[in-house]
Amino acid sequence: MRRVRAAVAEAPGAPFTVRDAVLGDPRHDEVLVRMAAAGLCHTDLGMRDTWPRRRTPMVFGHEGAGVVEAVGADVSGLATGDHVCLTFASCGTCEQCAADHPAYCLDAPVLNLSGGRADGTTPLSMGGAPLYAGFFGQSSFATYAVVRSRGVVKVPPELPATVAAPLGCGGQTGAGTVLNRLRPPAGSALVVVGAGGVGLSALMAAVAVGCDPVVAVDPVASRLALATELGATAVLAPGNGLVRTLRELTGGGAHHVVETTGRPEMIRRAVAALRPRGELALLGLGGEVSLDVRGLLAKGVRVHGVIEGDSDPGRFIPELVALHRRGRFPVDRLVTAFPFEDIRAAEAAMRDGSAVKPVLTFG
């Protein structure tokens, strides 16, 4: 048992409050990680605001990076002192995990979104009462976390934690959608709708594999400027005439559109911007959207729903680290660091667009 500091949401939609808590020891298949950095993602905010009241107070955070402090008896391939990136939890044995698609693990809802372990326990407590945790298998908005071993990936010790942290979700979601699911050949026209952390990760991956043109769509001028610096051929605000302009820029329509906003009107525009037999990848957490099925059939459009970039993190995160080393995936360009205790300021900066990828740092 050890005392930790954790950013706690006391109720659905409540602001993060940094509190003292107690963390239990790792079990046989778990790892204790001292946190060095944790990315703040829109998913943390969206899930916090809709989280079941019966599972509060709750600790969120799912883009952790740090150093291993202890490993359970059945954990292999990890040792005290290893520098690691934390990612989502998966069982490792279901048909999806066996097929190297752990993002679609059949036990994912329990392992990532239940507020604790599969047996209903939580490693955290506060004031003698359970403090719900285990968000995406980690709950990294804390100075230490007990993590399922399958969600722990070794990274080089020289890799800054502020770079490693976003790879666990946002980086692999955007880049993996391009590299694992769409797999565009060089010269393909690719459009990214929404130039946040996920969208810009997709854009960097598209540039890395030689897509041309690569177009970014976003209402925030500073994000469009960053997209240009990262290799976008063109950038556009989502105003009237967007579809017509996209078709002109892509020579009749995009081969691929990566849609990250989840907004119905933008999804419909994304479909309209595709050329015949084009592919749309949906990444944003949204609700229902109505589409003209006749139009989809006539164009032969393929629609992909993608979680976590359809990646196997143990394989894919090292690939992203290698791309970063070669200067082909400069995720550090997206990062703005905030001290952990300033998590509310980090949230405000993400909401107003002044920070693309806020990353909390632990002193």
**CATH number of the CATH domain containing 233:** 3.40.50.720
pLDDT of residue 183: 98
248 and 122 in one domain?
no
Structure tokens at 136: 């995406």
φ, ψ of residue 291 in degrees (nearest 5): -130, 150
How many independent structural domains does the chain possess?
2
Task: Please state the pTM of the whole predicted model.
Answer: 0.95
CATH number of the domain bearing residue 88: 3.90.180.10
Alpha carbons 259 and 253: distance in angstroms, whole number = 15
Alpha carbons 169 and 179: distance in angstroms, whole number = 15
Alpha carbons 90 and 153: distance in angstroms, whole number = 13
Going by their DSSP bridges, the two strands 16-23 and 124-126 should be labelled as antiparallel
CB 105 within 8 A of CB 96: yes
Instruction: Tell me, yes or no, whether 320 lies in a domain.
Output: no
305 is in which domain, residue-wise? 172-309
Q: How far is CA 135 from CA 95, 229, 334, in A?
A: 23, 34, 24
pLDDT of residue 286: 80
Instruction: Tell me, yes or no, whether 160 lies in a domain.
Output: no
pLDDT of residue 185: 97
212 and 148 in one domain?
no
Q: What is the pLDDT along the chain (363 residues), one digit of tens a residue?
A: 899 999 999 999 999 999 999 999 999 999 999 999 999 999 999 999 999 999 999 999 999 999 999 999 999 999 999 999 999 999 999 999 999 999 999 999 999 999 999 899 999 999 999 999 999 999 999 999 999 999 999 999 999 999 999 999 999 999 999 999 999 999 999 999 999 999 999 999 999 999 999 999 999 999 999 999 999 999 999 988 999 999 999 999 999 999 999 999 999 999 999 999 999 999 998 888 888 899 899 999 999 999 999 999 999 999 999 999 999 999 999 999 999 999 999 999 999 889 999 999 998
Q: How far is CA 28 from CA 147, 271, 317, in A?
A: 11, 48, 24
Instruction: Tell me, yes or no, whether 165 lies in a domain.
Output: no
Instruction: Tell me, yes or no, whether 98 lies in a domain.
Output: yes
223 and 353 in one domain?
no
Q: Where are the beta strands (DSSP E) in 16-128?
A: 16-23, 30-39, 58-59, 64-71, 83-86, 124-126
179 and 275 in one domain?
yes
Instruction: Tell me, yes or no, whether 314 lies in a domain.
Output: no
Please give the helix or strand (H or E) that residue 111 lies within, else none.
helix 108-113
140 and 54 in one domain?
yes
pLDDT of residue 337: 98
11 and 75 in one domain?
yes
